Amino acid sequence: MDYQLTEEQLAVQAAAREFAQKELLPGVIDRDRNMRYPREEVRKMAELGFLGMMVSPEYGGGGMDTMSYVVAMEEISKVDSSCSVIMSVNNSLVCHGIEKYGNEAQKQKYLPLLASGEWIGSFCLSEPGSGSDATHQSTQALPEGGHYLLNGTKNWITNGGTSSLHIVMAQSHPEQGHHGINAFLVETSWSGVQVGAKEDKLGIRASDTHTIMYSDVKVPAENRIGKEGAGFSFAMRILDGGRIGIASQALGIAAGAYELALNYAQEREAFGKPIANHQAIAFKLANMATEIDAARLLVYRAAQLKDKGLDYSMAASMAKLFASDVAMRHTVEAVQIHGGYGYVKEYHVERLMRDAKITQIYEGTSEIQRLVIARHILKGQLYPPVFF
Ligand code: CAA
């Protein structure tokens, strides 16, 4: 494992930090309050190449590694997690899913559109009756001649109101259980795709989360990803990578709150000195720094395993589990350090606290991450590799 970021990774980190501070920070409170989708900000993210960072240049992407992606995600999440989840779903669930498991025609048709940000993608697995228990898909895509007929409802779909392409998991052969599930590329302009109302959420309020209804949508057979029945294993493999993205989002939220709390604690005086010089606050900062750094190492390790082509499923779940708990714990502490100021919108930490919660829920709850980790342990993998 290499702790030293390369020059390219450092440049990406600096560019993401500058973008977040200059372009995202000014309107972030307003977008959160009004649930306003960051259309212009997403366009700028696309211009800077943040929406297709890991896509090969031959398909119009940045050709960067996962390490570059996670350092960019951290910087953007320090300021605006609504923007970083849009970026994360497009990069690690949709683009990576197509590039890794799609055929050449699918890559050529869809990746340039997604990598350039002309199109945004969504990943449609969760259903009203199936979140953690993802093998039980009620959405059906039954084969009929040269196409599949897609019917059903998906919910909590990130980018749901703005995306042009969905990756939809649906049951094609109910008698085969999860081996009958397929993954499809569904264009949202097709007849029968209907977008439900935007969710009014606790956090990541500017991101665009919807229920989606599919009613007799004709999906051409050539839009199935992989071979017949490979959809569930595809979804699991893609979520392993997605969890690295959400772990880096959680890391950024925690680090953003820590930086704000540190600045505040050095400026704010009480009992004749900066509150940072009171042990009650200094110890909180020490805990924050230690746990955020530990989360960062887990995120970097998972990213590097992926970049080296090694198994990263356990490492990704550990990174997400730990980083999301750190984000929740330390955004609460950041509010506490700010006292009454932390409880109002102007100081940003209350938003970070609300945004942190979703990282313990989406792309697999913390309970599912523990399940995944425990299954690796019981299969004989005590830990992911540290030296590789
Ligand atoms: N890689 C490849 N295959 C995998 C896998 C992985 N990481 N994990 C499981 N599988 C395979 C298993 O090998 C098994 O295949 P076989 O039957 O051929 O052996 C199959 O998948 C079923 O696995 P299990 O028997 O372990 O099934 P289970 O029901 O006991 O557990 C689960 C499955 C781990 C709980 C899974 O359902 C899961 O991860 N649930 C959480 C779903 C989730 O993360 N949803 C997030 C929604 S997407 C989102 O949030 C996007 C957004 O917009 C932000």
Considering the chain, what percentage of its residues have pLDDT values greater than 90? 98
* 264-289 confidence digits (pLDDT tens): 999 999 999 999 999 999 999 999 99
CATH of 232-378, one of 3.20.20.100, 2.40.30.10, 3.20.20.140, 1.20.140.10: 1.20.140.10
pLDDT band at residue 290 using 50, 70 and 90 as cut-offs? very high
Three-class SS string for 307-342? HCCCCCHHHHHHHHHHHHHHHHHHHHHHHHHHHHHH
pLDDT at 377 over 90: yes
Model pLDDT, residue 364: 98
| Helices (H) then strands (E): counts for the chain | 12, 10
Cα(322)–Cα(248) distance, integer angstroms:
11
Which of 137, 143, 146 lies closest to 172 in space, CA to CA?
143
Q: Classify burial at 305, counting beta carbons within 10 Å of its beta carbon; exposed 0-12, middle 13-18, buried 19 or more.
A: buried
Q: Is 46 in the pocket of ligand 1 (CB under 6 A)?
A: no
pLDDT at 2: 83
The Å distance, Cα 235 to ligand 1 centre, comes to 7
Residue-level pLDDT at 237: 98
pLDDT of 1 reads 84
CA 59 / ligand 1 centre spacing (Å): 29
Question: Which residues are designated catalytic?
Answer: 363
pLDDT in tens, 71-118: 999 999 999 999 999 999 999 999 999 999 999 999 999 999 999 999
Express each pLDDT in 145-156 by its tens digit.
999 999 999 999
Q: Is the CB of 233 under 6 A from ligand 1?
A: yes
Q: pLDDT category, 12, cuts 50, 70, 90?
A: very high
The best mutation among 90, 169, 234, 236 to test binding of ligand 1, ranked by most ligand atoms within 8 Å of the C-beta, falls on 236
> Mean pLDDT in the chain?
98
**7-120: CATH class:** mainly alpha
The pLDDT tens digits for 309-328 are 999 999 999 999 999 999 99
CATH superfamily, region 122-229: Butyryl-CoA Dehydrogenase, subunit A, domain 2 (2.40.110.10)
Confidence of residue 230 (pLDDT cuts 50, 70, 90): very high
Question: What residue spans define the domains of the chain?
Answer: 7-120, 122-229, 232-378
Q: Which two tokens stand for residue 25?
A: 């920070």
For residue 80, the CA-to-ligand 1 centroid distance in Å is: 29
Give phi and psi for 73, each to the nearest 5. -60, -40
Q: Is the CB of 123 under 6 A from ligand 1?
A: yes
Q: What is the pLDDT of residue 3?
A: 83
Residue 46, pLDDT > 90, answer: yes
Chain centroid to CA 329: 19
Helices (H), the chain: 7-19, 28-34, 39-47, 66-79, 81-88, 96-101, 104-115, 231-267, 279-307, 313-338, 349-358, 366-378
**Amino acid identity, position 381:** Q
Residue 371 CA, closest ligand 1 atom number: 34
Contact yes or no for 85/200 (Cβ under 8 A):
no
Angle in degrees, CA 173, 183, 126, rounded to 5: 95
Q: What is the pLDDT of residue 318?
A: 98
In angstroms, how far is the first alpha carbon of the chain from the final one? 6
Handedness of CA 41, 46, 51, 53 (dihedral sign): negative
The CB density around residue 47, as the number of other CB atoms within 10 Å, is: 12
